[in-house]
Structure 1
Amino acid sequence: MPGLPLHVIIIGAGTGGLCLAQGLKRAGVGVAVYERDRTRRDGLQGYRVGIDADGKRALRANLSPELYRTFLTTCAQRPLYGNQMTHEKKFLFSAGPEVLKPEDQPSEDDADESVSRMTLRQVLLTGVEDIVHFDKHFTHYEQHDDGRVTAFFSDGGSATGDLLVGAEGANSPVRRQYLPHAKLVDTGLIGITGKTPLTDETRALLPKEVTEGVTMVHGPKGFMCILHVMRFKWDEDGKPKQGIGSTDAEALRAWPGMLYDNSRDYIMWGLAASEQWLPKDVTRMRGARIQQLVQEKTASWHPDFRRIFSLGDPNSSFPLVIRTSEPINPWTPSNVTLIGDAIHTMTPGRGVGANTALRDARLLTRKLVAAHAGELPLLDAVGQYETTMTSYAWDAVITSRAQMDGHSVMHKGDLIGTLARTGMRTAMRTMNHLPPVKRKIVLAESSFRGAGREDED
Structure 2
Amino acid sequence: MKPLHVVVIGGGIGGLCLAQGLKQAGVSVAVYERDRTPDSRTQGYRINVNSTGAVALHDCLPPALWRVLVATAGDAGRGIGFLDEKMRELVLLGNDGPAADPDDPLNTEHAVSRITLRKILLAGLADLVHFDKEFLRYKENSDGTVTAYFADGSRATGDVLIGADGTRSRVREQLVPRATTTQIPAIGVAGKLMLTPETLAWLPEILLARKNVFWPKRDFLFTAVFRRREDPAQVAERLGDQLLALGLDPRELVEDSRDNDYILWALIGSSDTFPAGFTELTGPPILDVVGDRIRDWHPSLRRLVKDADQLRAVGFTAAAPVEAWPSRRVTVLGDAIHHMPPVGGLGGNTALWDANLLRRTLISVAAGEKELVAGIGAYEAAMREHGFATVRDAVRNTEQAATRNALSRLRTRLFFKACGAIPPLRRAALGYDQPVVDAEERLTPVG
Q: Do Structure 1 and Structure 2 share a fold, with TM-score over 0.5?
A: yes
What corresponds to 2:64 in structure 1?
Answer: 66
Provide Cα deviations, 1:357-392, integer angstroms capped at 9, x if missing partner. 111111101111111122222111211111121222
Asked if structure 1 preserves the Cα contact closer than 8 Å seen for 2:70 and 2:102, the reply is no
Q: Is the 8 A contact 1:10 1:32 kept in 2?
A: yes
How many angstroms apart in 2 are the aligned matches of 1:409 and 1:309?
18
User: Cα distance, 1:179 vs. partner?
Assistant: 1.0
Q: 2:398 aligns with which of 391, 400, 404?
A: 404
Q: What does residue 418 of structure 2 align with?
A: 430
By how many angstroms is 1:204 displaced? 4.3
Structure 1 residues 330-362: Cα deviation after superposition (integer angstroms, max 9, x where no partner): 111111111111111122345322111111111
Query: Per-residue CA shift, 1:43-87, capped at 9, x if unaligned?
Result: 343512111222121111111111111111111124212011222
8 Å Cα contact 1:41-1:260 kept in structure 2: no
- 2:91 equivalent in structure 1: 93
- Name the counterpart of 2:440: none
Label 1:218 to 1:103 Cα distance change in 2 as closer, same or farther (>3 A): closer
- Partner Cα distance (1:360, 1:410) in 2: 29
Question: Structure 1 residues 171, 364: closer, same or farther in 2, change over 3 A?
Answer: same
The 1-side partners of 2:141 and 2:171 are apart by 16
Task: Please state how far the C-alpha of 1:294 moved relative to its aligned partner.
Answer: 2.2
Amino acid at match of 1:81: G
Cα gap change, 1:105 to 1:119, in 2 (>3 Å): closer
> What letter corresponds to residue 142 of structure 2 in structure 1?
D
Q: Where do residues 378-417 of structure 1 align in structure 2 (5 Å cutoff)?
A: 378-405=372-399, 411-412=403-404, 417=405
> What is the rounded CA distance, in whole Å, between the counterparts of 2:256 and 2:147 in structure 1?
31
Decide whether the 8 Å contact of 2:48 with 2:111 is kept in 1: yes
How much has 1:251 moved relative to structure 2?
7.7
Q: Which residue of 1 aligns with 2:330?
A: 336
- Counting only pairs closer than 5 Å after superposition, residues 79-158 of structure 1 correspond to structure 2 as 79-98=77-96, 100=97, 108-109=104-105, 110-158=107-155
One-letter amino acid matched to 1:369: I
Paired with 2:385 and 2:16, the residues of 1 have a C-alpha distance of 23
Amino acid in the other structure paired with 1:411: T
CA gap 1:231/1:249 in 2 versus in 1, 3 angstroms = farther
Contact 2:80–2:95 at 8 Å: present in 1 too? Answer: no
CA–CA separation in structure 1 for the residues paired with 2:36 and 2:99: 48
Contact 2:236 2:255 in 1 (8 A): no
Mapping of residues 174-253 of structure 1, within 5 Å: 174-221=171-218, 223-233=219-229, 239-240=233-234, 247=238
Letter in 1 for 2:17: C
**2:4 equivalent in structure 1:** 6
> 1:303 corresponds to which residue?
299
Distance between the aligned counterparts of 1:254 and 1:441, measured in 2?
Answer: 47
How many angstroms does 1:199 deviate by? Answer: 1.8
Conserved 8 A contact 1:410-1:421: no
Contact 1:79 1:113 in 2 (8 A): no
CA deviation profile, 1:94-116 (whole Å, cap 9, x unmatched): 23433x4x699999332122111
Tell me what 1:452 maps to.
none
C-alpha distance in 2 between matches for 1:409 and 1:210: 20
Q: Which amino acid aligns with 1:266?
A: Y
The worse-fitting range, judged by mean Cα deviation, of 394-403 and 291-300 is: 291-300
**CA apart distance, 1:124:** 0.8
Identity, in percent, stands at: 36
Residues 229-270 of structure 1 show CA distances to partners (whole Å, capped at 9, x for unaligned) of 1001456xx544xxx897479889935323552411011111
Q: Which residue identity is paired with 1:122?
A: K
Find the aligned partners of 2:236 and 2:116 in 1 and give their Cα distance: 20
1:265-280 alignment, distance < 5 Å: 265-280=261-276
Q: Distance in 2 between matches of 1:35 and 1:119?
A: 18
C-alpha contact (below 8 Å) 2:426/2:432 kept by paired residues = no
Residues 285-364 of structure 1 aligned to structure 2 (within 5 Å): 285-313=281-309, 316-364=310-358
The number of residues matched between the two structures is 427
Q: 1:112 to 1:442 in 2, by over 3 A?
A: farther
CA distance in 2, matches of 1:434, 1:233: 34
Q: What is the identity, as a one-letter code, of the residue corresponding to 2:84?
A: T
Give 3-state SS (helix, strand or coil) of 2:254's partner. Answer: helix
For residue 169 of structure 1, report the CA deviation from its aligned partner: 1.6
Q: Secondary structure at the match of 2:182?
A: strand
Does the CA-based 8 Å contact 2:233-2:255 persist in structure 1? Answer: no
Amino acid at match of 1:123: I
1:254 to 1:6, Cα distance in 2 relative to 1, 3 A:
same
| 2:94 and 2:432 in contact (8 A); partners too | no
Residue of 5, 25, 28 corresponding to 2:26:
28
Aligned to 1:449: none
Q: CA contact under 8 A between 1:47 and 1:118: conserved in structure 2? A: no
Q: What secondary structure, in the 3-state scheme, does the structure 2 residue paired with 1:283 have?
A: helix
- Go from structure 1 to structure 2 and tell me whether the alpha carbon gap of 1:387 and 1:229 turns closer, same or farther (over 3 Å shift): same
User: How far apart, CA to CA, are the structure 1 residues paired with 2:273 and 2:141?
Assistant: 50
Aligned amino acid, residue 308 of structure 2: G
Q: Give, in whole Å, the separation in 1 of the partners of 2:198 and 2:412.
A: 32
What SS is found at the alignment partner of 1:71? helix
Q: Residue 366 of structure 2: which of 372, 378, 387 is its match?
A: 372
354-363 or 153-162: which moved more? 153-162
Q: Is the 8 A contact 1:136 1:154 kept in 2?
A: yes
Give 1:437 shift: 3.8
Give, in angstroms, the shift of residue 155 of structure 1.
2.1
In structure 2, distance between residues paired with 1:427 and 1:318: 31
